Copies of this chain bind each other. A is one copy, B any other.
Amino acid sequence: MTPPTRVAVIGATGYAGATAATLLWRHPCVQLRVLTSRSYAGRNFREVVPGDGPDLVLQDGPDPGDAEVVVVALPHGMAASLAGSWVKEGRTVIDLGADFRLRDAVEYRRWYGAEHASPGLLGSAVFGLPELGGEQLGGATLVACPGCYSTAAIISLFPAARAGLGSRDYIVDAASGVSGAGRSLALGSHFAEVAEDYRAYAVDGHRHLPEIVQALGEPAARITFVPHLVPMVRGILATTYFNLEGRHIEEVRAIYAAAYEGLTFVRLASSPPHTKEVAGTNMCLVHVAAQGDRAVVVTALDNLLKGASGQAVQALNLVMGWPEATGLEGLARWP
């Protein structure tokens, strides 16, 4: 029997890091060795994150110890300066943050307002969306997982973009639960302000936009992306619009069905999916419909699982050559 792979989670008490830590704790091929947290160092993970997650004491500095795999869930900018040495030491780095998603350091500065600390690494990072080039993940040493909105948008659009549907002119109207804004305190996540409220934000352009365009691999694609905040904890829904340009919707559905064929965690749904259907799971449901001569594609996923940590585990499974769904099944509950 193969010994389990030693894994560290750097930044384990935010929502994405804690979710990754909990999944990896249960993962049959993994031995979770190190969890770090600046805010809660010295305390047991279970005191800080309720539930039956790792029974481990949180470490302070970003030191992965003897871990072979380092899962990073830090605010943007921090992984950029740390990942290089970990990669050099021969470890595999799976980054949930934004630091290695864009291949172009100029684009990075434009959207994140700071110089990238390791621009030389940008070219070597593999984009961690298994549905799009998952074959490149095998043996990768630096994986940049896409953001939650990006995952929903890219899965919604890549079949259309590949086939050139709608002249590659797309509108993505997306909405997320509040956990997507993380565990850091802000008036925009304050219960009394968010409950009974719905709003759009970043209407002028959101940081996830360039990684969507890059992932679709069509620089000429024109994508409008507007995120909204929903008074719920988990879930992302993307409603995507493009012109049918004379195609029948059944033809479009066939294109989508072919593009999704064989995917473990993407499924066509016969009716518009609810975010609640996928909450707690790594599944992504997509409904393809038409209203008049416009296609309407609705995609739902859990922002903390398929949109973040579940996807990171899925990517790790492919990096290591394990079955893609290892550690990602049997999590759903209803209602």
Contact pattern, A 250-275, Cβ under 8 Å of B = 1, otherwise 0: 00000000000000000000001111
Instruction: Write out the residue numbers on chain B whose beta carbons fall within 8 Å of the beta carbon of A43.
Output: none
Known contacts A197-B275, A290-B204: A18-B334 contact under CB 8 Å:
yes
The answer to whether B196 and A224 touch across the interface, beta carbons within 8 angstroms, is no
The answer to whether A226 and B275 touch across the interface, beta carbons within 8 angstroms, is no
In the assembled complex, A194 has its CB within 8 A of some CB on chain B: yes
Count contacts on A: residues with CB < 8 A to the other chain: 78
The answer to whether A19 and B333 touch across the interface, beta carbons within 8 angstroms, is yes
- Bound together, the chains give a CA A128 to CA B237 distance in angstroms of 34
The answer to whether B19 and A203 touch across the interface, beta carbons within 8 angstroms, is no
In the assembled complex, A207 has its CB within 8 A of some CB on chain B: no
Contact pattern, A 162-204, Cβ under 8 Å of B = 1, otherwise 0: 0000000001010101110001011101111111111111011
- Bound together, the chains give a CA A98 to CA B298 distance in angstroms of 28
With both beta carbons as reference points, the residue of chain B lying nearest to A238 in the complex is identified as: B200
Q: How far is the CB of A18 from chain B (nearest CB, A)?
A: 6
The answer to whether B175 and A175 touch across the interface, beta carbons within 8 angstroms, is yes
With both beta carbons as reference points, the residue of chain B lying nearest to A50 in the complex is identified as: B277
Instruction: Write out the residue numbers on chain B whose beta carbons fall within 8 Å of the beta carbon of A52.
Output: 281, 283, 329-332
Task: Name the one of B50, B187, B196, B332 contacting A22, with C-beta atoms under 8 angstroms.
Answer: B332
The answer to whether A15 and B330 touch across the interface, beta carbons within 8 angstroms, is no
Known contacts A190-B185, A191-B178, A228-B237: A298-B330 contact under CB 8 Å:
no
The answer to whether A183 and B175 touch across the interface, beta carbons within 8 angstroms, is no
Instruction: Write out the residue numbers on chain B whose beta carbons fall within 8 Å of the beta carbon of A186.
Output: 185
Known contacts A228-B239, A291-B205, A333-B19: A274-B198 contact under CB 8 Å:
yes
Known contacts A19-B333, A22-B333, A272-B203: A198-B232 contact under CB 8 Å:
yes
The answer to whether B272 and A200 touch across the interface, beta carbons within 8 angstroms, is yes
Most chain B CB inside 10 Å of its own CB: which residue of A52, A205, A333:
A333
Residues of chain A having any CB pair with chain B under 8 Å: 15, 18-19, 22, 26, 49-53, 171, 173, 175, 177-179, 183, 185-187, 189-201, 203-205, 222, 224-226, 228, 230-235, 237, 239, 241, 272-281, 283, 287, 289-294, 296, 298, 300, 329-335
